[in-house]
């Protein structure tokens, strides 16, 4: 369901060594390798946000597809899919429709599945297998 949809291209990059202070809005895809102190929100549908291993975000994060392998201090809202890679560290509440969490990822907060459609429909939870 979620894996078959084409991801939007990453058109913006916050490079390692860069520090942004203030709230941000972005279109389509954004990759963060640096530091952001403020809220990050996708301003359109079909958005992709990648927070790399070296990245630190202090603020609220909101996008359709969120991939985290760095540190986020604040709530995370994935309107479709949240991927937590092995070095992901989240200090805040997390909401998602589908979740993929690798071994080693840490969440210090509440996890709230978002239900799309019928009230009795359960959110998709995918367990990531450990690569050899």
In total, how many domains does the chain have? 1
Which residue range forms the structural domain that includes residue 97? 10-115
Whether residue 48 lies inside any domain: the answer is yes
What is the Cα gyration radius of the chain? 14
Q: Please give the chain's pLDDT, 132 residues, in tens.
A: 454 567 888 989 999 999 999 999 999 999 999 999 999 999 877 899 999 999 999 999 999 999 999 999 999 999 999 999 999 999 999 999 999 999 999 999 999 998 865 444 555 666 666 654
Q: Does 51 fall in a domain?
A: yes
Q: Is residue 125 part of a domain?
A: no
Which distant-in-sequence residues (6+ apart) come within 8 Å of 15 by Cβ?
33, 34
Inside any domain, residue 57: yes
- On whether residue 42 sits in a domain, the answer given is yes
Residue pair 92/76 in contact by the 8 Å Cβ criterion: yes
């Amino acid at each position: 369901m979620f894996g078959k949809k084409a991801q939007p291209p990453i058109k913006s990059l916050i490079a390692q060594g860069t520090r942004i202070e203030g709230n941000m809005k972005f279109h389509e895809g954004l990759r963060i390798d640096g530091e952001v102190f403020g809220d990050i929100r996708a301003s359109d549908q079909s958005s992709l946000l990648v927070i790399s291993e070296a990245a630190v975000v202090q603020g609220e994060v909101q996008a359709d597809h969120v991939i985290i392998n760095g540190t986020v201090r604040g709530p995370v809202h994935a309107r479709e899919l949240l991927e937590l890679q092995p070095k992901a560290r989240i200090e805040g509440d997390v909401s998602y429709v589908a979740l993929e969490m690798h071994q080693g990822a840490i969440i210090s907060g509440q996890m709230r599945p978002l239900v799309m459609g019928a009230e009795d429909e359960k959110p998709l939870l995918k367990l990531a297998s450990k690569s050899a």
